[in-house]
Amino acid sequence: MTTSKKTSSPEQTPLEEAYPTTVEGLVLEERLGYALRRAQLKVFKHFDEAMREHDIRPAQFSSLVVIEGYPGVTQSSLAQTLSIDPPRVVSLINSLEERGLALRVRCKRDRRSHGIFLTKTGEALVERLKGLAEQSDLEATQSLSEIERRQLLTLLRKVYASEEGGD
């Protein structure tokens, strides 16, 4: 409301020069949540570029890999494995089915339940995508040595695979 609080003289350093471009020196630099998000966005950006030709999103790639490894997997099991909300898995599988990459097959024993399988096209594509994803990881983390990359992977796994402590 008061207009007199900024009576800076022209000699004063232009405001622009005091502006940040990185979080260096701020407490954000010390926060794992922040660092994880920034690193993840960077790696996903590379992934999206690598997969553009095939129009594949990260969750579609992950699903194809799990279906390849576990032919006949159910939607609920896929949701649990990838930690994705079940409704999102339904639309994910719909998109893979529409593109002829995967298909739902009704189980003989439990006719309400469907197993998901890759089509021949899906099998061929996932092979190609696995190579692209590996290459994309390497490109996004060029600043790391091979040993550092391995360390990072090990530490991340330790974070996401650990059981939540009960409290």
Q: Examine residue 56 and tell whether it contacts a copy of itself (CB under 8 A).
A: no
Q: Examine residue 65 and tell whether it contacts a copy of itself (CB under 8 A).
A: yes
91 versus 142: smaller Cβ distance to a copy of itself: 142
52 versus 109: smaller Cβ distance to a copy of itself: 109
Q: Examine residue 137 and tell whether it contacts a copy of itself (CB under 8 A).
A: yes
Q: How far is the CB of 51 from a copy of itself (least distance, A)?
A: 10
**CB of 76 within 8 A of CB of 110?**
no
Question: Binding pattern to a copy of itself, positions 14-53, x when CB under 8 A?
Answer: xxx-xxxxxx-xxxxxxxxxxxxxxxxxxxx-xx------
CA distance 127 to 61: 11
89 versus 141: smaller Cβ distance to a copy of itself: 141
Q: Examine residue 111 and tell whether it contacts a copy of itself (CB under 8 A).
A: yes
Q: How far is the CB of 62 from a copy of itself (least distance, A)?
A: 6
CA distance 27 to 150: 27
Interaction residues for a copy of itself, span 139-158 (CB under 8 A): 139-144, 148-149, 151-153, 155-158
Cα end-to-end span (Å), the chain: 47
Q: Examine residue 135 and tell whether it contacts a copy of itself (CB under 8 A).
A: no
Beta bridge partners of 116: 73, 104
Out of 120, 146, 162, 166, point to the residue binding a copy of itself (CB under 8 A). Answer: 162
Closest residue by Cα to residue 73 from 64, 85, 61: 64
1 versus 98: smaller Cβ distance to a copy of itself: 1
